[in-house]
Amino acid sequence: MLSEKLLGKLNEQITHEFFSAHYYLAMAAYFKKEDLDGFANFFIVQAEEERFHAMKFFEFINDQGAEAVISGFKNPKRDFNSAEEIFELALEHEKLVSSLINELMSVAQEEKHYPSISFLQWFIDEQVEEEASMGKLLNQIKRVGEKGHGILMLDRELASRTFTPETE
Ligand code: FEO
């Protein structure tokens, strides 16, 4: 059975994941406005992933015989100024999410709640990938700059990203 503390934190993570989806959708909107549809696609797919993450928490809580709590959240930032700014923010956000997942894992370990430890391990691994992909794109944007051929090449590459949820 989930303790009140662990259940509370798992429920908070549903909100964090849905907020992440909104945040990335706001980033997609900026790129749409800039006619960088490949970058927009990258963040639309990222938003889908975040909703998938949220639903994993939702299902896990239900599978544990508890009730998932759906809460609201603040408006995400808008008025972005550049691709570099967006990827800096996205990387910073993923680092924040990693720290939240790590914190959740610490609570699960303290309580020796093995189902949660096993469930959260997927997210620990996922966050390594999430941070790496945002960091890599940030470096690529820094290298090619905001204008010119390089950014359009990158845009074309990101247009092909699709959402493929892993099935366990
Ligand atoms: Fe759900 Fe991007 O972490």
As a whole number, the mean pLDDT across the chain is 96
CA end-to-end span of the chain, whole Å? Answer: 23
Give the distance (Å) from ligand 1 centre to CA of residue 148. Answer: 31
Yes or no: domain 4-68+82-158 corresponds to CATH 1.20.1260.10? yes
As a dihedral over the C-alpha atoms of residue 44, residue 49, residue 50, residue 55, rounded to 10 degrees, the angle is 130
Give the distance (Å) from ligand 1 centre to CA of residue 57. Answer: 12
Residue 164 banded pLDDT, cuts 50, 70, 90: confident
Other Cβ atoms within 10 Å of 133 Cβ, number:
16
The CA distance from 81 to 88, in Å, is 12
pTM: 0.95
pLDDT one-digit tens code per residue, 96-141:
999 999 999 999 999 999 999 999 999 999 999 999 999 999 999 9
Helices (H), the chain: 4-33, 37-63, 83-110, 114-144, 149-158
49 Cα nearest atom in ligand 1? 1
Domain segments of the chain as ranges: 4-68+82-158
